[in-house]
Amino acid sequence: MNVLDAITVLEAETIVKGEGLEKTIKHVIASDLMSDVLLVDEEDMLLLTSLASDQVLRTAQIVGAAGVIVVNGKSLPSSMMQVAQDLRMTLAVSKFPKFDACIAIHQYMTK
Amino acid sequence: METDAAPQPPPTPAMLQKTRGQTLPVDAHHQPLVLLELIQRLKVRDVMTQEIVSVQRHEPLWVAQAAMKDKHISGVPVVEEGRLFGLVSIEDIIRAVEGGYIAQPCGDYMTTKLVVLEDDMPLSFAVQYFDRFRFGRFPVLNRDRALVGIICQRDINRALLVELSAEFNRMEQTVAQINGHTAKIDANTYMLREFPVAKYDFENAGKAANVIKAAMIERKYPPKIVRRVAVAAYELEINLCVHSVGGVLSWQLSNGRSEVIAKDSGPGIADVEWACRDGTSTANEWIRSLGFGAGLGLVNVKRVSDEFEITSQLGSGTIVRSAVNIALEENK
Amino acid sequence: MKLSELIASAGFEVISPGNAACEVVAGYTSDLLSDVMAHCPEDSIFITVQNHKNSVAVSTLVGAVAILVVHDREIPKDMLDAAQAENVALLRTSKNQFEASCLVAKILSVS
């Protein structure tokens, strides 16, 4: 599964297509605390989060995430699009609640 | 009450000589061409803020006051149908509060003798104007004399930092290519970058770390090393922004070692050991809601560092230093 | 599914058992307490890394019957006291939010 697949599975709207759009995802992080995300050692993860802020994108770049999907039907502050473009980070937004998003992704990954 | 806001001619180099003891690098012959070119190339409209909060002449002064408080600005232009009539500054508000006339119309008390800039002027003009005049901001008009933006010092600083950073990147790449060192990690590589970090500047918090990471990726350092440096830089930068009064984040590459140093001039950490513990804190829900979690993240910085040191003195601030050794093979 | 069955199937560490007989019908995963307050369904298991007593307060408000703390986070005493006082189950797992959500979903759908 790559980021584009995840976007499809979560019926997400793509805001910015970044560099990692077609990267194979090895791990999924479903956290809303950026301090937590900074503890993760893996690369090529998909970040699913309910937090809609520029910090999410900056943290994602720091930890080498392949892409960010903001879940829970959040509306994104307008600044996030520019930040995602600057960082070349894929950004999408989905109405799925995080619990359901995890299930949908998991089902796709294990089919 | 039309403003007589005609753009003044830029100060001549002679006028600029020894302003506050230092010549501004705008017209002098010995300044780096890069800087000159940059501030000539960038126009006021590239740097100004276009989202303008304004009031109308009939509105009472307290409306302007509320806008200043709400948006953290120090001046509100008085605008009707795109035309600029004047400006209400924080000084005007203070006088109004003291004089008891805060409910009076803005039009009666606004400043009308305004210095304005034009949107297609080069940024060097704005730099000179800020140096020459004591205003905190300048309204920006277009050719038709309509108000199209506002520019303040912060806008210029931010634009310059971003452009200079990009410019330095380009220059260093050129130098590296000339020396044939693009893909080779050279123990003699030396770089120093310093990033000011302002307290609670959430818009920019983490940007320095992003820049540092991008710079290392460009130079093809091993991914695991890059990740460790980036995490350390980010945690330290966020701390400066969120837990201190602000300060400077510096990054130095020398002798095959990457060092990130966070320096603040705040009150100091009373108990450094306690600060290094991982902990959940319910103290600041607002900051947490912005995505900055509990604790100081210093445990994480320590975890990714080969060397980690905090020096803190009550009353004179804190210095946190994190170093990562850069070997040709991936370590750790 | 009964809370006690869920706990038994999943093998989560039980910090405080809560009301073993109550029904768990859904899962909700979030680290943003404001989101939990707004969207967490009743009779759910609330999956989060937020290991502090505010999580208990919020659970009581929304009618969540259990809190699952992820990443093996330490449970402070005041959180435990609050959970016992409110009769909210307090569980713990070393898994992260994604893995924990998928496991809970799997168990719940089998009931």
Q: Write out residues 45-64 of C within 8 Å (CB-CB) of B.
A: 50-54
Name all chains with 3 or more CB-CB pairs below 8 Å to chain A: B, C
The Cα B194–Cα B188 span in angstroms is 20
**C residues 11..40 contacting A (CB < 8 A):** 26-32, 35, 39
User: Which of A102, A108, A109, A111 is the mutation pick for testing C, counting most C CBs within 10 A?
Assistant: A102
Nearest to C29 among A33, A99, A105 (CB): A99
- The CATH class for the domain spanning A3-110 reads alpha beta
Contact predicate B295/B277, CB 8 Å: yes
| More confident site: B291 or B70 | B70
CATH topology of domain B183-325: Heat Shock Protein 90 (3.30.565)
Domains and CATH numbers, chain C: 3-110 (3.40.1390.20)
Q: For residue A27, list its beta bridge partners.
A: A45
- pLDDT, residue B177, reads 58
At residue B182, the pLDDT reads: 43
A33 contacts on B by Cβ (under 8 Å): 288, 291, 293-294
Reported as a single tens digit per residue, the pLDDT across A1-19 is 999 999 999 999 999 999 9
What mean pLDDT, rounded, does chain A reach?
Answer: 95
Indicate the pairing of strand A27-29 with strand A45-49. parallel
Amino acid at position A110, single letter? T
From C34, C54, C73, residue closest to B282, measured CB to CB: C54
The strand pairing partners of B251, in sequence order, are B193, B260
Could you tell me which CATH number the domain at B13-155 has?
Answer: 3.10.580.10
- Does residue B34 register a pLDDT over 80? no
| Residue B326 pLDDT greater than 70, yes or no | yes
Residue B283 confidence (pLDDT) above 50 = no
Domain ranges of chain B: 13-155, 183-325
Report how far Cα C71 is from the mean position of its chain's Cα atoms: 13
Domain chopping of chain A, boundaries: 3-110
Greater pLDDT, C58 or B289: C58
Cα separations in angstroms, A46 against A3, B38, C10: 7, 38, 25
The whole-number pLDDT of residue B72 equals 86
CB contact under 8 A, A39 and B295: no
Residue with tokens 């937590």: A36
Give the helix ranges, DSSP H, for chain C: 3-10, 33-39, 53-62, 77-86, 97-110
A99: chain C residues, CB-CB within 8 Å = 26-29, 47, 101, 104-105
Interface of B with A in 13-72 (CB under 8 A): none
How many Å apart are CA B25 and CA B41, to the nearest integer?
14
Closest to A71 in 3D by CA, of C98, C68, C94? C98
Chain centroid to CA C62: 12
Q: Tell me the β-bridge partners of C13.
A: C92
At B16 the pLDDT is 47
Which site among B278, B282, B289, B300 would you substitute to test the C interface, given the most C Cβ atoms closer than 10 Å to its Cβ? B282
Answer whether B213 touches A (CB < 8 Å).
yes
Is the per-residue pLDDT at B325 higher than 80? Answer: yes
Average pLDDT, chain B: 79
Task: Answer yes or no: pTM beyond 0.90.
Answer: no
A54–B202: do the CB atoms touch at under 8 Å? yes
Pick from C32, C34, C52: CB nearest B280? C52
The tens digit of pLDDT for each residue in B73-90 reads: 888 999 998 899 999 999
pLDDT band at C36 (very low <50, low <70, confident <90, very high): very high
* Predicted local distance difference test score (pLDDT) of residue B163: 79
pLDDT higher than threshold 50 for residue B183: no
The least confident of B107-121, B254-268, C8-22, C42-56 is B254-268
Residues of chain B contacting A87 with CB distance shorter than 8 Å: 210
User: How confident is the model over B4-15, as pLDDT tens digits?
Assistant: 444 555 555 555
> For residue B18, is pLDDT > 50?
no
Question: Is-contact C96 C71, C-beta < 8 A?
Answer: yes
> Where residue B282 falls among pLDDT bands split at 50, 70, 90?
very low
> What is each CA distance from B29 to B32, B36, B37, C75, in whole angstroms?
9, 10, 12, 65
Asked whether residue B1 carries a pLDDT value surpassing 50, the answer given is: no
* Whether residue C69 has pLDDT greater than 90: yes
